[in-house]
A and B are shown apart, each in its own frame.
Chain A
């Protein structure tokens, strides 16, 4: 039965003349470079949340040694997170056609008989399940998360983070085993006859191997061009036709830039943010100070031009924020000259990151503000009225909106 051409376990079942070591090697080397960048920018994004600073920043408290490399996230250059996370998401989306083509090119090997030639081969096949399943899991959770379609089984952060390590473990083993041969194949254009990927009885070609690579590259280019604008911002946003934060900006005027969560989504009622009701509670070494928005406006105000950059990959161009420096607020409660960490609480009652911790280097940066104005006007409710945090280079969710309480002190 093994040679019955109607069974996928028979080599004769696979007819495409495209399959072969050269085609697979080219795609494999592109993925080797691309997935390495995805993994590294993912680790960078994880560090950008400062998960080791406070439990509220940490969605993966049982990470153990996987957080071995964590460091204090810097505040400059101001576009740092915009860049690394824009690369992570845009590159991930761009690589999808390459991933699919690579999987297509090696699918006959899924059905190879005997299932295992040796113990090492058996382990390799188990590892390939982690490679393919883990890889598709990472791409799928990422693509669904940026579209706010939270159908995956759990919270995105731990799934995508631990899933990345499972996938990466299998990816490294696969790369160690396959890269030398892939490089040789691409460099020297070795003869392909006899390779198990080459169809023994190929059908008539309908496209050349180069033509097929052009199609894969064209798919990547189309995805890239319809996505990247949501990270570039400005006039390019309109080119991101299918990206979740592409197209037009919401509303217009000074507050007309991309919103992560509206006031309605966060459950912020106008009654809580009015001049009479809202007080900022600042606590520190010397006690607690309560400030109305009018009192905040009488403190020295400063401006910073800073972007908003989301973990979902989209970002805005620099906005012109105006407000009170975080380090001046620290000084009000007894931290003169040596600002500590700060624990920030929002009016928001539910949802992740309604509380966030900022590290002392972020508080000390003179560009870090409790912003009251943006682009010359008071913040709109959707951008955090009466007051929001804005810190250079920090991930969007750490720029807490509708701030209610700041507690300075070492966390």
Chain B
């Protein structure tokens, strides 16, 4: 016979009952329109993040570390990782503007064009990677100088 599920802390049970009561009160109203669409968005957001976005960026990071390791350039990892993370974050937040997904509405509403955003994001990305490469080169030179003090 399977053992029965223990009840657990009564304080926690009470806490979750209160929490679900409030969530239920608001949830009924949240789902009063397109309930399936909203439910899909909420559950889908959690699943998409945990099972798609996170594995994707973890795999990308692993590929960068592995690739640089194979090339005996492990020290380069932060110089790739930092600009990639920063540029990726900007894209994750602003992709509707960067890719002009609401172009017509944006133009009509604000009276301005949204086609500047792709160029700006690319420019910021270039500056981030360029700055990182410059820093790597400068630090590499300094390290080389320290290793061979005869060279001036």
Contact = CB atoms under 8 A, between A and B. Distances in A.
Interface in A213-258: 215, 218-219, 222-223, 226, 241-242, 244-245, 247-248, 250-251, 258
B35 to A, nearest CB: 9
A265 to B, nearest CB: 4
B78 to A, nearest CB: 7
A47 interface: no
Contacts of B12: 120, 123-124, 177
B102 A219 contact: no
Given A137-B41, A169-B23, A120 B109 contact: no
Contacts of B81: 206-207, 215
A62 interface: yes
Contacts of B116: 247
A254 to B, nearest CB: 15
Contacts of B65: 206
A123 B82 contact: no
Contact of B110 (A103, A134, A259): A259
Interface string A114-149: 001111111110110110111011001001100111
A133 B42 contact: yes
B11 to A, nearest CB: 9
A168 B93 CA distance: 22
Contact of B109 (A104, A126, A152, A262): A262
B82 A218 contact: yes
Interface stretch (A38-46, A158-166, A367-375): A158-166
Nearest to B117: A242
B79 to A, nearest CB: 12
A80 interface: no
Contact of A223 (B5, B89, B117): B89
B27 interface: yes
A173 to B, nearest CB: 4
Contact of A62 (B32, B92, B109, B111): B32
B59 to A, nearest CB: 13
A59 to B, nearest CB: 12
Given A62-B32, A129-B43, A107 B50 contact: yes
B37 to A, nearest CB: 3
A71 interface: no
A382 B56 CA distance: 44
A260 interface: yes
B19 A222 contact: no
A218 B86 contact: yes
A353 B122 CA distance: 37
B23 A170 contact: yes
Given A119-B6, A136-B46, A148-B105, A222 B86 contact: yes
B54 A107 contact: yes
A260 B105 CA distance: 11
Contacts of B38: 153-154, 159
A40 to B, nearest CB: 16
B7 interface: yes
Interface residues of A, number: 82
B5 A118 contact: yes
Contacts of B40: 153
A169 B22 contact: yes
B109 A173 contact: no
Interface in A159-189: 159, 162-163, 165-166, 168-170, 172-173, 176-177
A347 interface: no
A144 B93 CA distance: 9
Contacts of B126: none
Contacts of A153: 33-34, 37-38, 40-41
Task: Kindly name the residue among A97, A117, A133, A261 whose own CB sees the greatest number of chain B CB atoms within 10 A.
Answer: A133
Contacts of A154: 33-34, 37-38
27 contacts: A93-B93, A107-B50, A118-B8, A119-B5, A119-B7, A120-B12, A126-B20, A130-B42, A136-B42, A136-B46, A136-B49, A143-B93, A144-B96, A148-B102, A149-B101, A155-B33, A162-B27, A162-B29, A166-B42, A168-B22, A177-B15, A215-B85, A218-B86, A223-B90, A242-B120, A244-B97, A262-B110
Complex A-B, nearest 4 residue pairs according to Cβ-Cβ distance, in ascending order? A120-B8, A153-B37, A118-B8, A165-B26
Given A130-B23, A170-B23, A260-B109, 11 more contacts: A103-B49, A136-B42, A136-B45, A154-B38, A162-B29, A173-B19, A206-B81, A223-B89, A242-B90, A264-B108, A382-B111
Interface of B: 5-9, 12-13, 15-16, 18-20, 22-23, 25-27, 29-30, 32-34, 37-38, 40-43, 45-46, 49-50, 54, 58, 65, 74, 77-78, 81-82, 85-86, 89-90, 92-94, 96-98, 101-102, 105-106, 108-112, 116-117, 120-121, 124
